[in-house]
Amino acid sequence: MHVLEPARLKPGVTLDSLPTAETTAAADRPVSAARASGGTATAAPTGTVLRGRALIFWDPRAPGRKLDAIDTDQITPAADCVSESLETLDERWKAGSFRYLMPDFRARVHRGETFLVAGDRFAIGSSREMSPAGLKAVAEEAGLELVVVCGSNIGDIFRRNALSLGLHVVQSPEAVADAQDGDELSFDPATRRLANVTRGKNYEPVALTPKEEEIRRSGGIIAIGRSELRESVERVPRIEWPDRATARRLTTTEQIVWAHRVDKNAEVRPGATLRVYADLLPASDGTAPFAIHTF
């Protein structure tokens, strides 16, 4: 029988050594794009507007048109969806980013082309979190932040993974249509306002769902996890099953989720995102090292 127990710290780790919400917020502040213009990357204060040049994926079969339907296999080929060690966790993800579609992608991002512009149906395909993680890491290793600007119908799983990992994703068909090579773009993470500085145009991106906006504003699930880690270690798991009246309106699965809620006041309903005490956490060889390395 599984028994839920409080988290156990590794030998040599103390409660005081764990990050708090305050220290995590300071460590996760974005860096500025000063390096793109030859400056030194420094911690950017909250509210900093990101600036960079357009990196456009053109359709070779239709001159003047942005490329549609770039799938996750093209973003991160399957052969690069591996982690050879925790120390080099994302090296293959970064090296494989657009390996065949744009071999010089990494170098161009490092030169300041930090606004990836693509057409409709960007990042469709398999649900590999290595793709948004790799794209984000390519920019971060140069002290920059990447912004993905795409047209309609972005892959749902990629969008959610990107927001969860803190990668900026903006859907704006108008901005995609206007963008040209060399254009300077800006993005305000606080308001999600996008602008083409070169052409003097501003855009209102497709709105996120309330939960996506909450995740985005928090800095992503990694930032959330780190900020809540200490509290989760101190908290004693508490499982409480619903009373008869409550149980009647819940399915069997919903009753299990209801009993395992961390926040006992949280509503259990379709579409809700809840924190729960887990009896068992299955993980793949692709995601488990990522979680272990992060937390």
Domains assigned to the chain:
29-218 (3.20.19.10)
Residue type, 197: V
Q: What is the pLDDT of residue 153?
A: 94
Q: What is the pLDDT of residue 35?
A: 37
Q: What residue ranges in the chain does DSSP mark as E strands? A: 50-56, 115-117, 147-150, 168-171, 184-188, 193-196, 201-203
Question: Is residue 283 pLDDT above 80, yes or no?
Answer: no
Give the closest residue to 147 by CA, choosing from 126, 174, 176: 176
pLDDT greater at residue 6 or residue 159 = 159
Does residue 102 contact residue 93 with C-beta atoms inside 8 Å?
no
Q: What is the pLDDT of residue 40?
A: 34
The C-alpha atoms of residue 195 and residue 201 are separated, in whole angstroms, by 6
Q: Supply 240's token pair.
A: 């409480």
Q: Which residue has the tokens 């959330």?
A: 224
* CB proximity list for 55: less than 8 A, separation 6 or greater: 105, 108, 109, 113, 114, 115, 116, 117
Question: Is residue 77 pLDDT above 50, yes or no?
Answer: yes
Does residue 123 contact residue 75 with C-beta atoms inside 8 Å?
yes
pLDDT band at 134 (very low <50, low <70, confident <90, very high): very high
The model's pTM: 0.76
> What percent of the chain has a predicted confidence (pLDDT) above 70?
86
Question: Is residue 33 pLDDT above 50, yes or no?
Answer: no
Q: What is the pLDDT of residue 275?
A: 87
Instruction: State residue 188 phi and psi, 5-degree precision.
Output: -100, 105
The pLDDT tens digits for 225-253 are 778 888 888 888 999 999 999 999 999 99
Question: Is residue 46 pLDDT above 70, yes or no?
Answer: no
Give the closest residue to 182 by CA, choosing from 170, 171, 197, 172: 197
Return the minimum-mean-pLDDT range out of 123-127, 267-271, 287-291: 287-291
Q: Supply 265's token pair.
A: 């006041």
pLDDT band at 287 (very low <50, low <70, confident <90, very high): low
Rounded mean pLDDT of the chain? 86
HSE on the CB side for 171, CA within 13 Å?
Answer: 19
CA distances for 202 relative to 53, 130, 251, angstroms: 15, 31, 47
Question: Is residue 43 pLDDT above 70, yes or no?
Answer: no
- In the chain, the largest separation of any two C-alpha atoms, in whole Å, equals 66
128: left (phi over 0), alpha (psi -120 to 50) or beta: beta
Helix (H) or strand (E) holding 21: helix 21-27
Instruction: State residue 170 phi and psi, 5-degree precision.
Output: -130, 125
When pLDDT is averaged across residues 191-209 and rounded to a whole number, the result is 96
